[in-house]
């Protein structure tokens, strides 16, 4: 049995509430399991299940996990544990997918530790979910949808996603192992992928397009690609624990905020295209020097 994981990330955000739901399947030499993780502004929950609770239909793109149903168009939630009582349904439409795979040519590189997918940079969310008695209502709210698969999350990485007015941004910077490639002298390199969906246009930043990381320090990330310079600044601690894959098993603990304070700035030839500070950024900052 090969070590492997596959997970999906559904983010839903109204003017006052943010919710992220993460179903995942994971297997190692020892066992197969699945899980659902839920993150709100103030809490995170982890609900593990034996693998026999999981049903996947690739043709219809439906995932069922112990009474909860996930698809691109809908989530029907039914979770009842000692720590989490969650029920309701959410529907998704008006998707904004990328023009092509976020991994670019790296999608063809074998043995990569983790492969990322972006299914929708922005879409409409409707529905109601109740979490431990608290009502989360989404009326023509916004959503974001992505996924990961592979063996492990990168040892060092930064990930952020944010909505602002008619803009949606995603950026991930990670330390990528490449020791399996015979022509590489280094064991790792710093790679990045990012997209800004803005005014019906797609601005893509990626290592395979020549983007470079100029700075990673104290929550600040600065990247450059051609005449573009993008800076992202995390302005408060990342608090909520999540389980992340390590060699196919969910042993590693990382932290994420679904709604935190951050600043985003984009310029072209030193001309500011946008600059804003928000309290609704999603962030994972797992980077050590």
Note the pLDDT tens digit of each residue in 35-78: 999 999 999 999 999 887 788 877 767 889 988 999 999 999 99
Segment 186-203 shows an average pLDDT of 91
pLDDT class of 30 with cuts at 50, 70, 90: confident
Q: What is the pLDDT of residue 157?
A: 95
pLDDT over 90 (residue 211): yes
Q: What is the pLDDT of residue 243?
A: 95
Taking the domains of the chain in order of start, what are their residue ranges?
Answer: 4-286
Whether 216 and 223 have beta carbons less than 8 Å apart is answered as no
pLDDT over 90 (residue 201): yes
Q: What is the pLDDT of residue 186?
A: 65
Note the pLDDT tens digit of each residue in 104-156: 998 888 778 899 999 999 999 999 999 999 999 999 999 999 999 999 999 99
pLDDT over 60 (residue 1): no
pTM (2 decimals)? 0.94
**Long-range contacts: 161-167, Cβ < 8 Å, 24+?**
161/11, 161/281, 161/282, 162/262, 162/264, 162/278, 162/280, 162/281, 162/282, 163/13, 163/122, 163/280, 164/264, 164/274, 164/276, 164/278, 166/198, 166/199, 167/196, 167/197, 167/198, 167/199, 167/274
Segment 239-243 shows an average pLDDT of 94
């Amino acid at each position: 049995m090969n070590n492997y994981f596959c997970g999906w990330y559904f983010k839903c955000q109204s003017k006052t509430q943010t919710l992220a739901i993460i179903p995942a399947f994971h297997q190692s030499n020892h066992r197969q399991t699945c899980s659902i993780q839920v993150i709100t502004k103030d809490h995170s929950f982890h609900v593990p299940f034996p693998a026999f609770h999981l049903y996947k239909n690739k043709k219809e793109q439906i995932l069922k996990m112990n009474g909860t149903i996930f698809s691109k168009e809908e989530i029907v939630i039914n979770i009842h544990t000692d720590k989490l009582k969650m029920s309701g349904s959410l529907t998704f439409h008006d998707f904004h997918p990328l023009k092509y795979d976020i991994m670019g040519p790296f999608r063809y590189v074998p043995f990569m530790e983790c492969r990322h997918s972006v299914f929708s940079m922005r879409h409409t969310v409707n529905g109601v979910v109740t979490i431990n008695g608290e009502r989360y209502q989404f009326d023509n709210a916004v959503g974001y949808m992505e996924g990961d698969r592979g063996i492990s999350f990168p040892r060092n990485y930064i990930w952020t996603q944010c909505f602002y007015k008619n803009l949606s941004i995603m950026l991930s910077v990670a330390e990528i192992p490449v020791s399996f490639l015979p022509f590489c002298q280094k064991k790792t390199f710093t790679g990045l992928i990012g997209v800004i969906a803005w005014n019906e246009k797609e601005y893509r930043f990626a290592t395979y397009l020549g983007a470079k990381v100029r700075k990673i320090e104290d929550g600040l990330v600065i990247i450059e690609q051609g005449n573009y310079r993008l800076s992202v600044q995390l302005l408060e601690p990342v608090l909520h624990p999540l389980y992340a894959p390590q060699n196919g098993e969910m042993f590693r603990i990382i932290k994420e905020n679904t709604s935190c304070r951050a600043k985003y700035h984009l310029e072209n030839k030193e001309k500011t295209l946008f600059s804003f500070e928000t309290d609704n950024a999603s962030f994972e900052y797992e980077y050590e020097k």
